[in-house]
Amino acid sequence: MARYLVTGGAGFIGSNIARRLLEEGQEVTVLDNFSSGHRRNLEGLESRIRLIEGDVRNEEDVRAALEGVRYVIHQAALPSVQRSVADPFPTNDANVNGTLRLLWESHKAGVARLVMASSSSVYGESPTLPKREDMEPAPMSPYAVSKLAAEVYGQSFTRTYGLEVVALRYFNVFGPHQDPEGAYAAVIPKFIALMIEGRAPTIYGDGRQSRDFSYIDNVVQANIKACTAPGAAGGVYNVACGERTDLLDLVAVLNEILGTELVARHEEDRTGDIKHSLADIEAARRDLGYEVEVDFAEGIRKTVAWYRGQLAG
């Protein structure tokens, strides 16, 4: 048994990681300021975790959260490309300064390894597919820049201080506990919530933009394996399914599952959005032992069923 700190543990991805760690018999500390995470995501876990309501930018909060911790899984961030385009400063503060604070305090606390959430957005609009970790980054948005900066900080801490850091580049994660509300909600939960209610979703652009959608269980697996995978320290790894789906096909799949015939509305492309995304996941398979547990087709069925259950409840 080891103690894990999950930053952003009340968020979509963080809460799923915390839940899996508890199922595996590990001790879990959650650090979250609830700026984008939700207490409802931790329902049923309250008595089993050590919860610290605090901020990764705050020295005292981070030090308290790191007590007795062997592995850190860093999910805390201010998400959304569009939010960062509208105002880059909060995104930089949370994602860069927050990560730097966590790295520094983890180094001083003697943490064995820190695994951080990065993003496929660091690749930018390169037409080359699939995206490989050895490609030169070309971030388009301040959010993407913040994630790349955090990666580079992590690598510098591995080289300079000996803190083992692994960065995972997520490709469009979806699944239970993802928030469908708000201006910056991700496309899958937003589409599902609208279509369950019989409302047509809005697509920005022609709908042929494609994404490598990855069900949450795959991302949880990658994080936990990255904590102990030999030789992974200092590495950066894509986490996805290695298949892509365009938004018009996504709407068609949801119509089929829901038994609806809704037609998406179209609006102009949004600044900072990337046209196509597809991951090469061979490095994660080789170094982390990562495998796709749940493919897109199964994941979207599971996700729709979960949201239906939530709305019925």
Q: Which sequence positions are flagged as catalytic?
A: 143
* CA angle centred on 81, ends 219 and 224, rounded to 5°: 15
Give the type of residue at 167.
A
The phi, psi pair for 218, rounded to 5°, reads -65, -40
User: Sign of dihedral through CA atoms 121, 123, 126, 130?
Assistant: negative
240 CB-near residues (< 8 Å, 6+ apart): 120, 170, 171, 172, 212, 214, 218, 278, 279, 281
CA-to-CA distance for 167 and 248, rounded, in angstroms?
31
**Are β-strands 113-119 and 164-170 bridged in parallel, bridged antiparallel, or unpaired?**
parallel
CA atoms within 13 A on the CB side of 221: 19
Whether the CB-CB separation of 240 and 281 falls below 8 Å is answered with yes
Structure-token match 């899996």, residue found? 20
